Copies of this chain bind each other. A is one copy, B any other.
């Protein structure tokens, strides 16, 4: 996927569907979270490594644009990348696909806070570095955009 090096697959649960016969929109936010959790696990020791340092990452903004609706038992691939780490803040961008069909585009904005006071606290240095490495590796692997788009087809 153009510009994304990480992805994970979600299989639609029956409980995630609604009376329209498709996945209820609120579940997409949960799938984005699953992708973040696995991203952190692969690149930075997991979300619990943050929590053990007394830090929680809050969601401060969510944007989702829905494409083709998805159904029970569909497989949805969630591509994710972490960008714009600054102070306490960072951002994830996502692309959700079912095969070649676009299921959604999304981004979420986050802030690290102290687990007890809920006051903003800087992203730990080790996490900034781990994510920097993960995304830089990706950038290096990435072909120029035009070829890349061609390859994605």
Contact = CB atoms under 8 A, between A and B. Distances in A.
A33 B48 contact: no
Interface string A12-23: 011101111110
A26 B30 CA distance: 6
Interface residues of A, number: 37
B25 A14 contact: no
What number of copies of this chain does the assembly contain? 4
Interface stretch (A62-70, A121-129, A132-140, A145-153): A62-70
Interface in A28-85: 29-30, 33-34, 37, 46-48, 56, 58-66, 69, 71-73
Contacts of A73: 37, 46-48
A37 B63 CA distance: 21
